[in-house]
Each structure stands twice: as C-alpha cells, then as structure tokens.
Amino acid sequence: MRLKLKFFSWIFITIALPFIFFLIILPGTLPDRQILDAIPLRWAVILIGIIYSSLATLLIGNFILKPLFSLSDWIGENAFLSEGMGTPPPLPGLLSPIMRNISGKITDMQQEISQLQSDRKMIAALIQNLNDGLLITDKQGNIALINQSALTMFGVSPGNYPGHSIVEVLRSHHVSELLQKVVRTSREQSLSFEVPAKKSYIQCVATPLEEDLNGSILFLFQDLTKLRRLEIVRRDFVSNVSHELRTPITSLKLIAETLQEGALQEPENAKIFLSRMENEIDNLTQMVEELLELSRIESGQVPLEKHPINPEQIITKAAERMALQAERAGLQLVLRPEKDLPEITVDAPRLEQVLINLIHNAIKFTNPGGKILVSAHKDKNTVTFFVRDSGIGIPPRDLDRIFERFYKTDRSRSKRGTGLGLSISRHLVELHGGRIWAESQPNQGSTFYFSIPV
C-alpha cells in the first residue's frame, strides 16, 4: 500500500504539478486581455494534458507499476524465502535484468537458508544424542538449552525446560554452587558429585561463553559411575587377594617357625605340622590354578568344544561328583530336572564345572540337615539350570557383586574357598552365550540360575 501511495505521489509531482503551474498559475500573471484570449487555448491545453497524463499513468501502471506491485505482493507472501515459494512474476522490458538479479539473490539466499536449516538440524541431533549431558544457561541460571542425557543423569523426565531455572529442573545444589562460582570468577570450574536419586557419580565442567554467547554458561556433565565402580572393584580385588594370600602365608610361616624351634624332634607333632603345611600349600596351589584358569577364560584362550547333549546328563554327572561331599556335610542332594528337555550344544565338561561350583557353594553355606535341589527347565528358547539350597542366604547388598573375583560376604570369611568359583562360572556361562544370576534372602536360602540358549 505504501508503494502505491508513493508511486501516485511521484506521478502527481512529476506530471500534474507542471501542468497546474504552466496552465493555471502562469496565465494568472498575464494582463486581462491576454487572459481572455488565452482561456480557450488554456482549457484546450489542460484537456490535452489531462488526456496525456491519464494515458501516461495507464501505460506506466500496465507496463511498470502492475508488475512491480505483483513482485511486491509475491515477496510479501514469501517473506521466509522457503524452497517451495515458486517462480517470481516476470518483469517486462528494461526491468527484466532487475528480475534476473532478484531471482539470483533469492536463489542464493534459499541455498544459504537451506544449509543453515540442515546445519541446525544436525547440531540439534548431535546435542540430543550426546552421551555426555549438555546444559546452557544465562548468568541467572535460566536454562537456554538442555539435552536428554543431562535430564537422564539427574533423573528428570523429558519436557520443555528452556526458560526454567536449573534449581527447579535439576534440583542440585552442586550445579547451583558451580554456576555462582563461574559467575563470580569468570573462569572455567569443575566439580565431581553424587546424584542420590540415581546413585550415580557425575563430573561437571562449567565454562563461561563471554565471547561466543555473551553472559551464557556451558555445563558439560560426564557420568563416571562405571569408572568409579571399576575402581571400587579393583581396590576390593587387591584387598581380597591380599587377604587370601596373607592367611596361608602366615600359617606356613608359623608352622615353619614351630618346626625350627624343636617340633622336628617330636615325630608325632612334626607329622601334624607337615600335614597342615601341605593343606596350606594345596590351598595356595588351588588359588593360583583358579587365577590362571580365570585369566585364560577372560582373555578368550579357552576354546569350547561344543557337542549336542541332553541337559539331564550334565546335571547327573555334576551331582555324582558332589554326592560324597554333600553326604559328609549331612545334606540331602536332590535331582529333579524337567522331563523331555531339548538338547543343547555346549562344552559339557565346562558346564559341569559350573554346576559343581554352584553345588559346592551351596554345600559350604548350608547347615547340616539342609537340602540342595538341582534342576533344569525349558524357558522359551533357553534351558535354565538352577541350584537351590536352604542355607544362610545372601544379604541384598551383596547379590550384585558375588560374581566378582575374590568377593565374599562378611559371613563367609571364616569359610574355606578362594572366592573365584562364581567368577569362573559367570565367565563360562557367558562364553556359551548365556547369563547367570542369583536370588536370595538372609536365612531363607539361595537359588543360583544360569540359562543356555537351545
């Protein structure tokens, strides 16, 4: 509308005003006689000027103004220069080069906009799929951007959080304190803390973005929970190895000192001490052999010789080897496998070793008069073996760690064993593509399961 008003104003100034000046105002300065003589001529000229102006306006409107108005309306309707905006209206004659220039610029702008949109989508996808949490806030702590990983780390459900404060969304005073520290120092800060709701350990690095985004602060969250757990396992492993080695070594040292102090001169006592020394050496030998076996299994140096076999045969052989120990411990060993079990393709001696480890474990932690049940059943596409005892059970805090090397519950410290049997069993089951787990309650017995694909 403004363009039309400006155009008609220009027509009025450039065409109408000269006619008004020369044909109306100028004759008024002439003498009366000349005016009377000039009246017919003046009106004739005025009429001709009006006709000329109308024709000129019509021609300009049809050949110049109308296409320009169409072009203006087209640009107004396609203000965002999208790819689907269509072809601009043509301009006639001398105006066609202008249209070519406009079309070229529009094409360039469309390509730039398309590239920017593609880059924006790619950056948004990268941010949302980062394993590390990412958060951008202003100096007041209002969220500008947060990705899904950050929400997951703090146990926050997905939602539209830009504009909300970090205190409201993350509910972490550690992040708030880090924000205040960055605002106060204008320098990068880092902090490690625990998230109680997720039982996870987070490292956060906060960086001020003064040059790139004035006043914004970038938070990068890294989940160190697995690394921390590995560190705990490593520390416990060293502690457990030290404990397991210290006991037999101390016993051997005491026996040797006793023999040196005169026990060798007493044949009966010497035989007793030598027998104890032999037992301790056997324990050390067993520990070393199991460590070597576990190392070979973990490094993949134990090839499996798989053959089809009925699961009931594996159960029977393992139970036969452990029957005497169960009898000596005053326990009832019961076999109750499901009938018509499908064959499984496995390394039978290795799976027998797994069952023997589980039965031996049950014998150690079941009081005399108890019962141990060994069974198997088909479960979808797997055969699940289990060993159930009526023993002392396992505390819930230890269930997730009993398959670690050397890990023992406090109650089992006084019992014999290296603490490697369950770890070896786990690796052997996983080599067969299966999994192993346990269910237990203190003083209510335990059940150890492992499943093997059919």
Span 264-283, pLDDT tens digits: 777 787 788 788 888 788 77
- Residues 448 and 321 reside in one and the same domain: yes
Same domain, 56 and 135: no
- Going by C-alpha positions, the residue among 91, 55, 53, 58 that lies closest to residue 72 is 91
Alpha carbon distance 119, 445 (integer Å): 60
Let me know whether 214 and 266 are in one domain. Answer: no
Distance CA 120, CA 109 (A): 16
CATH number of the domain to which 248 belongs: 1.10.287.130
The reply to whether 346 and 445 lie within a common domain is: yes
Mean of the pLDDT values across residues 280-304?
Answer: 75
Query: How far is C-alpha 214 from the chain's CA centre?
Result: 29
C-beta neighbour count of 193 within 10 angstroms: 16
Among 162, 160, 219, 229, smallest CA distance to 194 is for: 229
Q: How far is CA 443 from CA 327, 363, 397, in A?
A: 22, 15, 15
- pLDDT value of position 405: 73
Among 32, 62, 77, the domain-final residue is: 77
- Residue type at position 300: G
Q: Which residue in 154, 151, 146, 199 sits closest to 172, CA to CA?
A: 154
pLDDT of residue 35: 47
* Domain of 219, in residue numbers: 130-223
User: Would you say residue 111 lies in a domain?
Assistant: no
Across the strands, what pairs with 192? Answer: 203
pLDDT at 414 over 50: no
pLDDT at 6 > cutoff 90? no
C-alpha dihedral, 425 to 428 to 434 to 435, nearest 10°: 30
For residue 30, the model assigns a pLDDT of 46
Q: Where does a domain end: 33, 58, 77?
A: 77
Closest CA to 349 of 432, 447, 285: 432
Encoded tokens for 100: 């070519």
Task: Outline where 261-342 has alpha helix (H).
Answer: 267-298, 311-328
CA angle at 372 for the pair 369 and 378, rounded to the nearest 5°: 160
Mean pLDDT of the chain, nearest integer: 78
Identify whether residues 317 and 443 lie together within a single domain. Answer: yes
Number of domains present in the structure of the chain: 4
The reply to whether 293 and 312 lie within a common domain is: no
